[in-house]
């Protein structure tokens, strides 16, 4: 029988990690807000939020813990409600999915794991506080700071197909990204090669302006790209969340992920990832 992992937060990234571990023979349990998940057969699922901790017995037999749960206004809900129970299980490996957003704005320059956090957004400041809670928990923590996550169902391909894509040109703006399957690859590599206390940036090799990504998606789909919109024209109509997204401008280095974890990316560029998503759309439509 394989090792058992408990995943707090079986959302988009958490489910992808769970599937990869199931394929490896792991026993997987975890949480959603409702306590239900329809597309993870064989995974025992519990409801969880700050007011509804999971029963301690749900953690019996676990050797690894992963949390994808974002902080709320009061801090990290997993550490606050489950920290003692988790420590008592003495897991050999604990992982926390954080964000590269906490590095803040670097004017398009490069950041790595040694760059001091300097978050500009409230949600990134909360993430930094959550990281500190996990670091102070006394558990064998591995921190994964994720760049912009994309993958099937959540990419520029879907934005173009739905008619919601916008080609906004903010001169000099750069973003780093990570395909959700490469998040799973990195987590599994860390489970194979534990190094408690280490922080890893998870991103691909190809930081790029967001309008280039939309343009490439249109090219893959063979459709006319939307007209480019200047930043001055676009920002008046952007939501606070979107404005925050554009407030930070940086390129993220993945050298530690590659060299210390030995991760070989399935999708080293957004071009590779979008091409795979577009192929998936075509094969689904043809089989339908």
For the stretch 173-211, pLDDT in tens is 999 999 999 999 999 999 999 999 999 999 999 999 999
Q: Which of 155, 145, 160 lies closest to 250, judged by CA?
A: 145
Q: Is 155 exposed, middle or buried (0-12, 13-18, 19+ CB in 10 A)?
A: buried
What pLDDT is recorded for position 275?
98
What pLDDT is recorded for position 1?
63
- Of the candidate ranges 34-48, 72-86, 89-103, 233-247, the one whose mean pLDDT is the lowest: 233-247
Residue 111 phi, psi (nearest 5) = -125, 155
What pLDDT is recorded for position 243?
86
pLDDT of 274 > 80? The answer is yes
For helices 12-23 and 180-192, what crossing angle results, to 10°? Answer: 50
pLDDT of 70 > 70? The answer is yes
Q: How many CA atoms lie within 13 A of 264 on its CB side?
A: 0
Q: Is 147 exposed, middle or buried (0-12, 13-18, 19+ CB in 10 A)?
A: buried
pLDDT of 288 > 60? The answer is no
Q: Is 35 helix (H, G, I), strand (E, B) or coil?
A: coil
* DSSP code for 237: G
- Which residues neighbour 6 within 8 Å (Cβ) at sequence distance 6 or greater? 29, 30, 58, 59, 62, 64, 65, 66
- Which residues neighbour 167 within 8 Å (Cβ) at sequence distance 6 or greater? 211, 214, 215, 225, 226, 227, 228, 229
What pLDDT is recorded for position 2?
84
pLDDT of 91 > 70? The answer is yes
What pLDDT is recorded for position 281?
83
* DSSP code for 169: E
d(CA 117, CA 88): 31
pLDDT of 282 > 90? The answer is no
- Residue pair 210/150 in contact (Cβ under 8 Å)? The answer is no
For the stretch 123-148, pLDDT in tens is 999 999 999 999 999 999 999 999 99
31: confidence class by pLDDT, cuts 50, 70, 90: very high
d(CA 68, CA 70): 6
245: confidence class by pLDDT, cuts 50, 70, 90: confident
Per the listing, tokens 């063979």 go with 222
What pLDDT is recorded for position 283?
73
* DSSP code for 53: P
Q: What is the largest CA-CA distance in the chain?
A: 58
């Amino acid at each position: 029988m394989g090792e058992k992992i408990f995943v707090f937060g079986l959302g988009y990234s958490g489910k992808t990690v769970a599937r990869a571990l199931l394929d490896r023979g792991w026993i997987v349990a975890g949480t959603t807000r409702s306590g239900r998940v329809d597309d993870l057969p064989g995974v025992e699922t519990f409801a969880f939020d700050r007011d509804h901790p999971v029963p301690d017995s749900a953690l019996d037999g676990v050797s690894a813990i992963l949390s994808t749960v974002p902080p709320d206004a009061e801090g990290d809900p997993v550490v606050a409600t489950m920290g003692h129970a988790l420590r008592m299980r003495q897991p050999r490996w604990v992982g926390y999915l954080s964000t590269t957003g906490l590095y803040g704005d670097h004017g398009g320059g490069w950041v790595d794991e040694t760059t001091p956090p300097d978050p500009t957004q409230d949600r990134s400041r909360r993430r930094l506080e959550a990281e500190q809670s996990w670091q102070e928990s006394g558990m064998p923590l591995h921190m994964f700071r994720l760049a912009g996550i994309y993958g099937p169902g959540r990419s520029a391909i879907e934005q173009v197909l739905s008619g919601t894509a916008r080609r906004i040109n903010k001169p000099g703006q750069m973003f780093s990204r990570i395909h959700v399957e490469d998040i799973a690859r990195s987590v599994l590599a860390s489970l194979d090669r534990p190094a408690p206390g280490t922080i890893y940036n998870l991103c691909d090799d190809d930081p790029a302006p967001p309008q280039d990504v939309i343009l490439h998606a249109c090219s893959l789909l063979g459709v006319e790209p939307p007209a480019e919109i200047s930043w001055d024209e676009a920002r008046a109509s952007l939501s606070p969340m979107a404005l925050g997204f554009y407030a930070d401008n940086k390129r993220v280095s993945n050298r530690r992920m590659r060299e210390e974890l030995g991760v070989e990316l399935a999708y080293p560029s957004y071009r590779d990832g979008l091409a795979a998503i577009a192929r998936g759309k075509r094969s689904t439509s043809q089989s339908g």
